[in-house]
Amino acid sequence: MSAKERFLKKLQESQPRTGSYENKGQADIAEFRQRIALLQENMEEWLTDTGIRVENTSVSLVECLIGGKSFGVPGIQLQYEDRKVKFTPVFLYGQSVTGCVEASLYKQGGVTVLCRLFMQSGENRQWTWRPANAFTGPGGMFGEDAFFELVERLLP
């Protein structure tokens, strides 16, 4: 092997591999980011021509189960007139899920937590939801109908 070939091989080995992660925590963070981005794309599609602005935000999380390291995750903000619904990532691991996003209504200086969305892993890759402060009980799959029931609170 020539010096150039050794150099190029060593350079390639030292660079991060696309789609390959050092550990499960990194893979879960990447999936959480990706699934939130896809959720935002769905919201943008659902809200086409409504006058409701969809914006991305940046949230920093610290996860104790992956060494207490901080990592960035996108959040989502919907705004209509002076009201906002923010979808804020709150944790990666917990409550038998991999990824949780809290939806809150911001209006007239007050904040009301509406629900939590949970990113499911494995075969069931849908988002599920539960009302605020409910650890068990009603909720279900988070799709277009559940989304519009939630964001109806944006309207005066």
Flag whether 69 is in a domain: yes
pTM of the entire structure?
0.81
Mutual angle of helices 144-151 and 24-46, in 10-degree steps: 70
Determine how many CB atoms are found less than 10 A away from the CB of residue 134. 12
Count how many domains the chain has: 1
Structural domain containing residue 145? 25-154
Flag whether 132 is in a domain: yes
Q: What is the DSSP string of 79-145?
A: EETTEEEEEEEEEEEETTEEEEEEEEEEETTEEEEEEEEEE--TT---EEEEETT-SSSS-EE-SHH
Q: What's the pLDDT tens digit per position in 75-123?
A: 999 999 999 999 999 999 886 788 999 999 999 889 999 999 998 776 6
